[in-house]
Structure 1
Amino acid sequence: MAPAALIIIDMINTYDHEDAETLVPAVRKALPGIATLLKRARESGAPVIYVNDNFGQWRSHHGELLDAALRGRHRELVEPVSPDEDSLFVIKARHSIFYETPLAYLLGDLGVEQLVLCGQVTEQCLLYSALDAHIRHFGVVVSFDALAHIDAHLADAALRMMQRNMAAQLRSTGDITLDSAA
């Protein structure tokens, strides 16, 4: 297997937005899978990279985003998957984890060839990120039981698109291994 990195998308969240209450049940369902992947990546030495929306807070950094999320309405959704001191963190302002971020450079520097994607929102940020990873020639594995959605029908369609149009491998958390890029 090519050296892989676990990419955790938008899980540092205050859940203080329009779709939050629709999203929260799906996040609760996805949390065990995300926590399992996180534990597995940390044990294997594979890079763990959080790519997170900055929520329009242009003066913030990852510590401030995490502190705000842990003070937010759903701390219990953030705490189990919080970054540790070895985690890497990339701030994004748009849907894709690559758009106007240094992520591609970071992945190249780490020698990563395959991305394991998890987090939220399947039909938005995950879909666009999978496309951008594919066009940059990264292998893409999507952990379908470690994803949260707002609209289940759109999420199902997004997963089918990732698999068919972007050559993404859809796997359950139990079927994903992570190898260190080191």
Structure 2
Amino acid sequence: MGRTALIVIDMPNTYEHEDADVLVPSVREALRGIGALLKRARDAEAPVVYVNDNFGRWRSHHGEILDTALAGRYADLVDPIAPDGDALFVVKARHSAFFETPLAYLLDQLDARRVVLCGQVTEQCVLYSALDAHIRHLDVIVALDAVAHIDAGLAEAALRMMERNMAAELRPSGEITFEDVRSA
């Protein structure tokens, strides 16, 4: 048996980048689904791991990243889904949550065999994280109503790729549970 972990990608965000104006409305739509997943995972005592960019600040840590995002113009997008005291936090520098981070090791230590991905951006960081989870033999679920996009067409194509090429399950957040899973 293995556990299911919720991976929250890039949600503490300052939205101080060129695509922010296009991204923010999609993030607003995804917040309810992300919040529902967080509640369900916390209630099930499933691991919750936030994986986040460091905004190019190489001395930053999770508290500083969260504080910076909460002090920004879009704190209302961060506050409802902010990490609680039990959440784990991994800092990343590139698109994938796994690339040169300790996430794979952490998931192994947690005995996580399945990951539920939510956050942003569907056609970038979520896609690459799903690929890296798949090649690590993790079962992948992408929460359809809990991912945000910049380009709707590319996001739809990315979701199809995740489902077809990475065997990812695409489900609404309300259909996702955090029970233990059988190892392959």
TM-score interval (norm. to shorter): over 0.9
Distance 1:42 1:50 in 2: 13
Residue in 2 that maps onto 1:51: 51
Equivalent-residue separation in structure 2 for 1:174 and 1:27 (angstroms): 18
**Aligned-partner SS, 2:112:** coil
Name the residue aligned to 1:102.
102
Partners of 1:129 and 1:147 in 2: how far apart? 13
- Kindly provide the amino acid, as one letter, of the partner of residue 23 in structure 1: L
Q: Which residue of 2 aligns with 1:72?
A: 72
2:127 aligns with: 127
Are 2:91 and 1:91 equivalent residues in the alignment? yes
CA distance in 2, matches of 1:66, 1:126: 20
Q: Once the 2 structures are TM-superposed, how far is the Cα of residue 179 of structure 1 from its aligned partner?
A: 2.3
Task: Quote the RMSD (CA, aligned, Å).
Answer: 1.1
Q: Distance in 1 between matches of 2:85 and 2:179?
A: 20
Q: What is the letter of the counterpart of residue 47 of structure 1?
A: P
Kept in 1: contact 2:54–2:65 (CA 8 A)? yes
The DSSP-based 3-state class of the residue aligned with 1:118 is: strand
**TM-score, normalising length: structure 1:** 0.98
SS at match of 2:49: strand
SS state of the match for residue 22, structure 2? helix
Is 1:114 the counterpart of 2:111? The answer is no
TM-score by length of 2: 0.96
Q: Which runs of 4+ in 1 moved over 2 A?
A: none
Runs (5+) with no aligned partner, structure 2: none
How many aligned positions are there? 181
**Aligned partners of 1:55 and 1:167: how far apart in 2?**
31
Residue ranges of structure 1 left out of the alignment (5+ in a row): none
- The equivalent of 2:151 in structure 1 is 151
